[in-house]
Structure 1
Amino acid sequence: MSSGSEIHKGGGGRRDPDGAVLVALGGNMAGDYGSSEALLEAALARFAQAGLPVVARSSWWSSAAWPDPTANEYRNGVAVVETKLTPLEALHTLFSIEAEFGRVRSEKNAARTLDLDLIAFGRAVLATDHLILPHPRAHERLFVMGPLAEIAPEWRHPTLGTTARRLAASASVGLDARPVSKKPRREPI
């Protein structure tokens, strides 16, 4: 776990993919950005200013809204970031970015402009009132594991020990998820 003085490296070069700091991005309301993809791109640009520089990012994926499939489709992706922040500081930073982009936390599974989830913070395993790492449901979701497998196929889930590639193949939620735009940008991790 980061002490706050070291950089927790999430990717690039010959770094260990299991040390990745992973953030899932999603949304199905464009806000003032014209499209969910434009909003997600703007959010990614904001990460570096907030102490979470992006070193790799997936393409954007699309999936039906749940539990109401008649709502706008979601756009989703995953980013690998580097940070000097602790896991809890990173989570609060993500919440601040969500708020900047118009996220209002109301009912569970409600439509949203921006949803940022801290999926993993290296090999950290935490369970507090505010943060559970790794994310307790990410491994079930194709709209998270599919994008992750694009940029870090050999990343291993900290508690399951299974690679992102295999988790994507065995996902049970969001099975309609598919890549729809922008090739992933990555350095090997």
Structure 2
Amino acid sequence: MTMGEYPCEYAGDLDQAVIVALGCNDKGPWRDCREALEAALARFRAEGLDVVARSSWWRSQAWPDPNDPPFLNGVVIVHTQHDPHAVMAALGRIEEAFGRQRSRPNAPRTLDLDLVAYGREQGDCDGLILPHPRAADRLFVMGPLAEIAPEWRHPVLDVTARRLAETAAIGSDAMPIR
């Protein structure tokens, strides 16, 4: 799949899906957040994360402080041989390469990569909580996920991505851009 082809509904086994959310609201050295996110996706393969489906980009107000620059978000499903901790390490290396600073919670950032789900894994595994404990409440995550995997079921809540997108309370202004 080329980076320009989206959205692409995932045709694989949703129970095995490894889902990553991407976000940006500080373009850093890139022309805009879209370019930064596309550049980040281009690095996934080198980290052993093969993108097999991706959403369109969604714009939303910054949360929790709407005075911060707006966000551009998206979701990808990746195929990987990495375990969840190795996926997190790979995502951290990509964030670091993009100048991610962790100055304060929810501060503007050039790149935010979250492991939303790793198959049906659930619970706390050495500090890594799966699925992501707050993703189900965020339209800027569930909306993009519903584009590419509407029937994906949250491993704990047993609710589809489509339904979670309909009920998400955070980022209710999120909408796809074309």
Q: TM-score, normalised by structure 2?
A: 0.92
Superimposed CA distance per residue, residues 35-69 of structure 1 (whole angstroms, 9 cap, x where no aligned partner):
00100001011001110010010000001012221
Residues 139 and 12 (structure 1 numbering): CA distance in 2 closer, same or farther, change over 3 Å?
Answer: closer
SS of aligned partner of 1:172 = coil
Question: How far, CA to CA, are the matches of 1:68 and 1:13 in structure 2?
Answer: 33
**Residues 10 and 53 in structure 2, CA contact (< 8 A), matched pair in contact too:** no
Residues 118 and 58 (structure 1 numbering): CA distance in 2 closer, same or farther, change over 3 Å?
Answer: same
Question: How far, CA to CA, are the matches of 1:103 and 1:38 in structure 2?
Answer: 16
SS of aligned partner of 2:177 = strand
Residue in structure 2 matched with residue 46 of structure 1 by the alignment = 43
**Residues 24 and 118 in structure 1, CA contact (< 8 A), matched pair in contact too:** yes
Question: How far, CA to CA, are the matches of 1:74 and 1:38 in structure 2?
Answer: 13
Instruction: Structure 1 unaligned segments of length 5 or more: list them.
Output: 1-10, 182-189
Residue in structure 2 matched with residue 133 of structure 1 by the alignment = 130
Instruction: Structure 2 unaligned segments of length 5 or more: list them.
Output: 1-7
Question: How far, CA to CA, are the matches of 2:21 and 2:129 in structure 1?
Answer: 14
Superimposed CA distance per residue, residues 58-93 of structure 1 (whole angstroms, 9 cap, x where no aligned partner):
000001012221221000000000000000010011
Superimposed CA distance per residue, residues 108-156 of structure 1 (whole angstroms, 9 cap, x where no aligned partner):
0100000000000000113135310000000000000000000000000
Question: How far, CA to CA, are the matches of 2:177 and 2:9 in structure 1?
Answer: 25
Residue in structure 2 matched with residue 113 of structure 1 by the alignment = 110
Q: Shift of residue 12 of structure 1?
A: 8.2
**Residues 103 and 113 in structure 1, CA contact (< 8 A), matched pair in contact too:** yes
Residue type matched to 1:40 in 2?
L
SS of aligned partner of 1:24 = strand
**Matched pairs, number:** 171
Q: Shift of residue 96 of structure 1?
A: 0.7
Q: Pick from 141, 146, 149 the counterpart of residue 149 of structure 1.
A: 146
Residues 108 and 129 (structure 1 numbering): CA distance in 2 closer, same or farther, change over 3 Å?
Answer: farther
Question: How far, CA to CA, are the matches of 1:50 and 1:31 in structure 2?
Answer: 22
Q: TM-score, normalised by structure 1?
A: 0.87
Residues 58 and 12 (structure 1 numbering): CA distance in 2 closer, same or farther, change over 3 Å?
Answer: closer
Residue in structure 2 matched with residue 31 of structure 1 by the alignment = 28
Q: Shift of residue 19 of structure 1?
A: 1.4
Q: Which 4+ residue blocks in structure 1 deviate beyond 3 angstroms?
A: 11-14
What value does the CA root-mean-square deviation take over the aligned residues?
A: 1.5
**Residues 60 and 76 in structure 1, CA contact (< 8 A), matched pair in contact too:** yes
